[in-house]
Amino acid sequence: MTSKLVRILTAAAFVISVAALAQTGTAASPLPAAPSSATPATTNASGSKFGTINVEQAIFLSNEGQRDFEVLSKKLEPKQTELKGMSDELESLKKQLNTQSDKLNDDARATLVKQIEQKQKAFERSMQDARDDAQNQQNEIAQRILQKMAPMLVKYAGDNGYGVIIDTSNPWPQGPVLWAGPAVDITKAIVEGYNAQSGVPAPVKPIGAAAKPAGSTTNPATKPATTPATKPTTPPATKPTPK
């Protein structure tokens, strides 16, 4: 993959949605963009425990997330093939210019250069359009899952005595958590609870597929943290991105 998934959620938007759910006890409406000056609503939670959750991993590790992103990945394959064809054609023309430039007359060389420039612009436009389309569809899936997951998270926090739960999707220093031990991470519990609630079966892995280590901390949507961050208890799923 030649590009990475853009951030689908911000900590502010997530905190606001969860706080609202805790007060109303109803499902969230589509999440709006959170203004930088927004103040999260206070909740009625009386617990004192501190917890963390990697919201991105919870979404992508859920059975529903793995299923829907795999479907999207297959849907995007024709566009990836088309872009590869455009890239190969462009590279072939550039190679032709480099190897035959001294043999071409001025008109032929100018024509080839113009052709390369036009195809380069067309390729870049198509690549950007494909990235935007893929990101939009990825965001739609993630938002839909989050809307159903957030009420369950609020209930889990209340039932288990949590007063604060912080999203660790953004590794420090982009995120607020410098370090947190695995004992306070509830990502696995939320994923398991959501899977039971959704009723979506676990994806079937191809025979002979190598299992990922249970302690993996790599998140395909983010760069590896340079400072210790919360260790997820389950491995992240691969996020589809256009080539």
**128-157 pLDDT per residue, tens:** 999 999 999 999 999 999 999 999 999 999
- pLDDT tens per residue across span 165-189: 999 999 899 988 999 999 999 999 9
Cα of 145 vs its chain's centroid, Å: 12
pLDDT given for residue 45 in this prediction? 54
- Looking only at the bridges linking them, the beta strands covering 162-167 and 49-53 are parallel
**What is the pLDDT, as a whole number, of residue 48?**
86
Nearby residues of 200 by Cβ (< 8 Å), 6 or more positions away = 62, 63, 64, 67
The pLDDT mean for the chain works out to: 75
Q: Which residue has the higher pLDDT, 32 or 122?
A: 122
Looking at residue 208, its pLDDT comes to 57
Q: Is the confidence at residue 236, as pLDDT, over 80?
A: no
Element (H, E) at 207: none
pTM here? 0.65
- 51 CB neighbour count, 10 Å cutoff: 24
Instruction: Check residue 101 and give its pLDDT.
Output: 85
Please answer whether residues 31 and 20 qualify as being in contact, where contact means their C-beta atoms are separated by less than 8 angstroms: no
Q: What's the pLDDT tens digit per position in 42-98?
A: 445 567 899 999 999 999 999 999 999 999 999 999 999 999 999 999 999 999 999
| Dihedral of the alpha carbons of 190, 235, 140, 158, in degrees to the nearest 10 | 10
The CA-based dihedral angle spanning residues 28, 30, 31, 33, taken in that order and rounded to the nearest 10 degrees: -150
The pLDDT of residue 26: 35
Estimate the crossing angle of helix 106-159 against helix 11-24, to 10 degrees. Answer: 30
Q: In what helix (H) or strand (E) does residue 138 lie, and over which residues does it extend?
A: helix 106-159
Band of pLDDT at residue 204, cut at 50, 70 and 90: confident
